[in-house]
Amino acid sequence: MKNNLSISVIVITFNRAKSLQKALISLARQERQPDEVIVVDNTSTDNTKEIVLSFRNKLNIKYIYEKRRGIPYARNTGVKNATKDIIAFTDDDCVADRNWLKYLEIPFIKDPHIGVVGGEVSCLKVGQNIVAEFYSKNMPAREIE
């Protein structure tokens, strides 16, 4: 049994530079740092690339431009470029809890037969979309910093 594994975090983005910046800040503040962060730009026309490159001194980060529009193309491009033991997906409009990667790694270390894990999703602004509505009805409310 290994004591630790390496983690690739993949973030797909399209014209959300401002929220992407917040997502990347949350990855840079992880207690258990990601071993690599792969940002797949799915044809953005804003300053996404500049935002990603501004994190080069904070994260082991790769910027990849995927010209075929669509989440499946972008995710597959991210996976093809990932080089670590675990692949963790997050979205460009998500702020990861400081302990996200620390706790994500544990099941994989404890049981080499684990293939996929999931976790709690808390909405920052409840009621804005169908996902937020679902979680507000089915999950306890929780404040996020």
Please state the three-class secondary structure of 49-104 as a single string.
Answer: HHHHHCCCCCCCEEEEECCCCCHHHHHHHHHHHCCCCEEEEEECCCCCCCCHHHHH
Q: Are residues 65 and 135 in the same domain?
A: no
CA 4 → CA 37, 58, 103, 113, distances in Å? 17, 21, 12, 15
Claim to verify: residue 22 and residue 75 sit in the same structural domain: yes
pLDDT in tens, 80-104: 999 999 999 999 999 999 999 999 9
Are both 64 and 82 inside the same structural domain? yes
Range of the domain at 130: 120-145
Q: Are residues 11 and 78 in the same domain?
A: yes
The reply to whether 2 falls in a domain is no
Residues 6+ apart with CB under 8 A from 126: 132, 133, 135, 136, 141
- If asked whether residues 71 and 125 sit together in one domain, one would say no
Per-residue confidence band for 139, with pLDDT thresholds at 50, 70 and 90:
low
47 secondary structure, DSSP code:
S
What confidence score (pLDDT) does residue 133 get?
61
With bands split at pLDDT 50, 70 and 90, how would you rate the model's confidence at 1? Answer: low
Q: Which of 3-12, 26-35, 52-61 has the lowest mean pLDDT?
A: 3-12
- Under DSSP, the state recorded for 127 is T
Whether residue 124 sits in one domain with residue 104 = no
Q: Is residue 60 part of a domain?
A: yes
Is the same domain home to 41 and 103?
Answer: yes
Q: What is the domain-level CATH number for residue 44?
A: 3.90.550.10
pTM of the model: 0.83
Looking at the fold, whether 93 and 127 belong to one and the same domain comes out as no
| 54 & 124 share domain | no
- Indicate if 61 and 46 belong to the same structural domain: yes
Q: How many domains does the chain have?
A: 2
The residue assigned the tokens 């507000």 is 136
Q: Are 60 and 98 within one domain?
A: yes
